Amino acid sequence: MASAPDTKTPEVESSGSLSIVNDIIFSPINLLLTLIIGVLVYKIFKKFTKAPVDAPVLQLPKIRKDMTVAELRQYDGTQPDGRVLLAVNSWIFDVTRGRRFYGPGGPYAAFGGKDASRGLATFSLKSSDKEYDDLSDLNLMEMESVKEWEAQFREQYDLVGRLLRPGEEPRNYSDEEPEEADTSTSGQTEDKKDQ
Ligand code: HEM
């Protein structure tokens, strides 16, 4: 008598290979690695989506003031009020709102309290060490980039005043003076064109 075909064998085989796959997937090393990767992904995600806990949103009174490079240097976010200013194309902006970028420990802290023009134009995170950087050695494309950054900062942040050349006198700002009036005054890029 012919015996019935053994239908159990494939099941046994497949359950055998399944258990091998299970063993591989759920091996302690793989579970540990999955856990480590999960923690790392969570940390990276948290870093990019949340401001550091030590960087509360600061509501400081607006300031309107022209400054020298030396004066600007004080506003790197290390003062008790935490205010951060930076200059682009000879305009000073209050970037305290972006303190997590430009304040101490931020990715762009090198720009806090500094003239960021050269760094932004040359994709360098080193800030200018010069007493006053007239940017005269930057090429046309780099100067275009400086202007674009200036426009972006104008949109995002409050204008504080001008970065003064050595010997240049600060302007006297009255409370009534509209901020827009400043756009007519030339920055470093316009100065260059005039040369
Ligand atoms: C691997 C290189 C870089 C990466 C991955 C990167 C990433 C980013 C990201 C994700 C933002 C937007 C942050 C946000 O709005 O939440 C940003 C903004 C910015 N980045 Fe970068 N960046 C890099 C290099 C640079 C370099 C070299 C510079 C300057 C030289 C720079 C200057 C800036 C500035 C000024 C902002 C605007 C911050 C603000 O909103 O005030 N970045 N970057």
Distance 40 CA to ligand 1 centre (A): 21
The reported pLDDT for the residue numbered 155 is 98
The reported pLDDT for the residue numbered 192 is 43
Q: How far is it, in rounded angstroms, from Cα 31 to Cα 182?
A: 60
Cβ distance 185 to 91 under 8 Å? Answer: no
The reported pLDDT for the residue numbered 195 is 35
Q: Distance from CA of residue 97 to its chain's centroid?
A: 12
Locate tokens 């020298």: which residue? 68
What DSSP state is assigned to residue 183?
A: G
Which ligand 1 atom is the nearest neighbour of the CA of 149?
A: 35
The reported pLDDT for the residue numbered 15 is 55
Q: Which amino acid is at 109?
A: A
The reported pLDDT for the residue numbered 61 is 96
Distance 168 CA to ligand 1 centre (A): 32
Q: How far is it, in rounded angstroms, from Cα 127 to Cα 94?
A: 17
**Structure-token pair, residue 106:** 């931020």
The reported pLDDT for the residue numbered 71 is 96
Locate tokens 């401001």: which residue? 51
Distance 22 CA to ligand 1 centre (A): 43
pLDDT under 70: residue ranges of the chain: 1-22, 24-25, 29, 31-32, 34-58, 175-195
Ligand 1, pocket residues at CB < 6 Å: 98, 101, 108, 119-120, 123-125
Record the pTM: 0.70
Closest CA to 65 of 183, 167, 162: 162
By CB atoms closer than 10 A (0-12, 13-18, 19+), residue 104 is middle
Closest CA to 113 of 75, 69, 158, 159: 75
The reported pLDDT for the residue numbered 56 is 54
For 6-38, the pLDDT digits (tens) are 544 445 455 566 566 567 667 776 766 766 565
Candidate from 84, 101, 149 with most ligand 1 atoms within 8 A of CB, to mutate: 101
Distance 119 CA to ligand 1 centre (A): 12
